[in-house]
């Protein structure tokens, strides 16, 4: 075994921790991910730095919180001058590859709410910072409209090889779309709404795709990963392969056998809106909006649904998760067949969760419950593959420092993550608290401005502060693990609330960029 291990980083999208067999789900079948967890370290209390895609992915790559790295909410771009831990690996001679969803830059082409509503007509200078002159269009859909493969400008945040997939579902863009157009003659028919296969599901964004399993984006990503692992052109260079699946993020459209692999009646809502004794105003707004026939703001916005539609979304999500698991099985088998398994650290993670029935809600948003912020983190290390459960708190920002530590490399100045290797190898405690940031890109759920939410999670409490509001959320996780009794206004818990608020202030005071360090005394 080499002192410079390879790294295979497997990540799913919008996938909560408790929707894996190894995390206790009673229905979803994930034997291949479970097999990875069964022979090494599984973190049971691992949380996102932000509960939506782009900010948390940037935190994963940089080891820094959104308020520091600058990609604060969906629709921003990670600044081109940001270093990532992948940059460090590349500088040390690693071959680095991103295969699948990256989402460090915008990939829809749709204008933001700010662009449509918040620009002064007479403003001579629009932003507080000058533009850096860099292109942030590498993931934009227009680049992939031509037949010839678009060459991403590399290194792309440290990655030297890119097989890019943008967007979600059966109609992903990027290099996948270019490949589909070149290799599947009837691709237009497969992408035509008129050819949806028959079904009786009524949940939002349920679509029975005619795209076959073998050319669905999840399979394509696994195929490209297997190709990369078998590429002998790297010679003796170690590799870091970031393999990123866009599922089980909505729309809910598992292909082929995965569509009806699970029955909606096999699922139960973990906790309903009626179970909540005192929901916060955004939750009440979502429930009232549903019963008042209000519309969902965007396809990405959290929504309240009835029980049957939520069970349908659960069944379809389960199908997408099992498909990912099947493809991960193929990738790990290729790693073994190539003789690389015994020198490769395998990591499995997700960027954030999904309400997926909690309080009758679906998708994601500002309400930072455990279904949204607690994600899987599995670390399988050839140095010692034996089953371990670690219940210490940890954060997305810690993965960067952990990978660099395992590679024997020093992180750059300004990284906020802490190596989890002492927790992995010796069972040491890691964090007593984790900070979670949420910034909305538009006013939603009754707010008259984009929400700013900061959450502190300990082993005992979850405390969420909504900027500018007199109300908030305080939950006793030990006695109320389903988070159904908000203690914010309970006089018996004012002292606890004040203590957690003080702790949160200390975390917020630390959210300044320490880079660059001072070069001389003033």
Query: For 331-373, what is each residue's pLDDT tens digit?
Result: 999 999 999 999 999 999 999 999 999 999 999 999 999 999 9
Q: Which has the higher per-residue pLDDT, 298 or 162? A: 162
């810690």: which residue's tokens?
Answer: 398
The CATH number for 416's domain is 3.40.720.10
List of residues 6+ apart from 232 with CB closer than 8 A: none
pLDDT at position 128 over 60: yes
- pLDDT computed for residue 476 by the predictor: 98
What distance in Å separates the CA atoms of residue 308 and residue 61, rounded to the nearest whole number? 38
What distance in Å separates the CA atoms of residue 388 and residue 384, rounded to the nearest whole number? 10
List of residues 6+ apart from 512 with CB closer than 8 A: 68
Question: What is the domain range of residue 28?
Answer: 6-109+136-432
User: How many residues are there in the chain?
Assistant: 522
What distance in Å separates the CA atoms of residue 345 and residue 352, rounded to the nearest whole number? 22
pLDDT at position 486 over 80: yes
- Domain assignment of residue 115, yes or no: no
Half-sphere exposure of 172 (CA within 13 A, CB side): 33
DSSP 482: T
Average pLDDT over residues 257-270: 97
- Domain assignment of residue 400, yes or no: yes
- pLDDT computed for residue 117 by the predictor: 58
- Domain assignment of residue 89, yes or no: yes
Using pLDDT thresholds of 50, 70 and 90, give the confidence band for residue 299.
confident
């349920």: which residue's tokens?
Answer: 206
Burial class for 290, CB neighbours closer than 10 Å (0-12, 13-18, 19+)? middle
Residue 512, number of CB atoms within 10 A of its CB: 9
Kind and range of the H or E run holding 43: strand 41-47
What distance in Å separates the CA atoms of residue 497 and residue 473, rounded to the nearest whole number? 9
Question: What is each CA distance from 380 to 11, 218, 405, in whole angstroms?
Answer: 14, 22, 15
pLDDT at position 118 over 70: no
Using pLDDT thresholds of 50, 70 and 90, give the confidence band for residue 113.
low
pLDDT at position 255 over 80: yes
- Domain assignment of residue 519, yes or no: no
Angle between helix 175-183 and 217-229 (nearest 10) = 100
Residue 520, number of CB atoms within 10 A of its CB: 4
- pLDDT computed for residue 300 by the predictor: 87
- pLDDT computed for residue 521 by the predictor: 72
Q: Which has the higher per-residue pLDDT, 520 or 26? A: 26
End-to-end CA distance of the chain: 49
378 neighbors 40 (Cβ within 8 angstroms): yes
What distance in Å separates the CA atoms of residue 287 and residue 411, rounded to the nearest whole number? 46
Using pLDDT thresholds of 50, 70 and 90, give the confidence band for residue 84.
very high
pLDDT at position 152 over 60: yes
Phi, psi (degrees; rounded to nearest 5) at 323: -65, -45
Q: What percent of the chain has pLDDT over 90?
A: 86
What distance in Å separates the CA atoms of residue 56 and residue 49, rounded to the nearest whole number? 6
What distance in Å separates the CA atoms of residue 369 and residue 358, rounded to the nearest whole number? 9
- pLDDT computed for residue 112 by the predictor: 57
Using pLDDT thresholds of 50, 70 and 90, give the confidence band for residue 253.
very high
Using pLDDT thresholds of 50, 70 and 90, give the confidence band for residue 87.
very high
- Domain assignment of residue 201, yes or no: yes
Output the CA angle 178-184-185, nearest 5 degrees.
110
What distance in Å separates the CA atoms of residue 180 and residue 178, rounded to the nearest whole number? 5
pLDDT at position 18 over 80: yes
- Domain assignment of residue 245, yes or no: yes
Average pLDDT over residues 497-519: 94
């290729």: which residue's tokens?
Answer: 334
* Structure confidence by residue, pLDDT tens digits, 4-13: 999 999 999 9
Our count of domains for the chain comes to 1
Phi, psi (degrees; rounded to nearest 5) at 178: -65, -45
- Domain assignment of residue 471, yes or no: no
Chain-centroid distance, C-alpha 232: 31
- pLDDT computed for residue 127 by the predictor: 84
pLDDT at position 110 over 80: no
- pLDDT computed for residue 126 by the predictor: 82
- Domain assignment of residue 473, yes or no: no
Using pLDDT thresholds of 50, 70 and 90, give the confidence band for residue 111.
low
Residue 128, number of CB atoms within 10 A of its CB: 5
Query: How much is the mean pLDDT over the chain?
Result: 94
């Amino acid at each position: 075994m080499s002192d410079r291990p390879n790294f295979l980083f497997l990540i799913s999208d919008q996938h909560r921790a408790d929707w894996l067999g190894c995390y206790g789900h009673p229905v979803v079948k994930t034997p291949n991910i479970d097999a990875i967890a069964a022979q090494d370290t599984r973190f049971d209390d691992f949380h996102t730095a932000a509960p939506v895609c782009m900010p948390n992915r940037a935190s994963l790559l940089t080891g820094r919180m959104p308020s520091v790295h600058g990609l604060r909410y969906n629709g921003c771009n990670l600044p081109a001058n940001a270093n990532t831990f992948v940059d460090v690996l590349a500088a040390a001679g690693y071959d680095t590859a991103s295969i699948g969803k990256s989402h460090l830059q915008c990939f829809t082409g749709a204008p933001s709410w700010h662009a449509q509503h918040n620009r002064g007509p007479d403003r001579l200078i629009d932003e507080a910072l000058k533009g850096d002159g860099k292109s942030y269009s590498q993931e934009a859909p227009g680049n992939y409209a031509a037949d010839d493969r678009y060459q991403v400008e590399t290194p792309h945040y440290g990655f030297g090889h890119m097989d890019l997939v943008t967007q979600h579902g059966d109609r992903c863009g990027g290099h996948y779309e270019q490949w589909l157009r070149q290799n599947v003659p009837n691709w237009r028919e497969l992408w035509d709404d008129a050819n949806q296969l028959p079904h009786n599901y009524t949940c939002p964004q349920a679509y029975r795709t005619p795209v076959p399993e073998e050319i669905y984006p999840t399979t394509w990503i696994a195929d490209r990963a297997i190709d990369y692992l078998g590429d002998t052109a790297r010679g003796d260079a170690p590799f870091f392969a970031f393999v990123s699946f866009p599922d089980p993020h909505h729309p809910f459209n598992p292909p082929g056998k995965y569509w009806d692999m699970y029955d909606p009646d096999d699922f139960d809502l973990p906790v309903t809106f009626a179970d909540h004794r005192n929901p916060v105003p955004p939750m009440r707004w979502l429930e009232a909006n549903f019963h008042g026939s209000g519309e969902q703001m965007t396809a990405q916005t959290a929504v309240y649904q009835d029980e049957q539609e939520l069970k349908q979304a659960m069944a379809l999500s389960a199908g997408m998760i099992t498909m990912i698991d099947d493809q991960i099985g193929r990738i790990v088998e290729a790693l073994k067949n190539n003789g690389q398994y015994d020198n490769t650290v395998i990591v499995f993670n997700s960027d954030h969760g999904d309400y997926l029935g909690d309080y009758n809600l679906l998708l994601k948003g500002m309400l930072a419950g455990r279904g949204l912020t607690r994600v899987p983190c599995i670390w399988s290390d050839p140095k010692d593959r034996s089953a371990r459960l670690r219940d210490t708190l940890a954060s997305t920002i810690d993965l960067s420092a952990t990978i660099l530590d395992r590679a024997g490399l020093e992180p750059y100045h300004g990284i906020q993550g802490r190596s989890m290797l002492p927790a992995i190898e010796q069972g040491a405690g890691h964090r007593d608290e984790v900070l979670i940031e949420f910034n909305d890109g538009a006013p939603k759920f009754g707010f008259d401005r984009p929400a700013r939410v900061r959450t502190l999670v300990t082993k005992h409490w979850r405390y969420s502060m909504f900027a500018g509001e007199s109300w908030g959320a305080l939950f006793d996780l030990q006695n109320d693990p389903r988070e159904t009794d908000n203690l914010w206004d309970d006089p018996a818990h004012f002292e606890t609330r004040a203590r957690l608020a003080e702790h949160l202030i200390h975390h917020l005071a630390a959210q300044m960029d320490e880079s660059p360090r001072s070069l001389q005394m003033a």
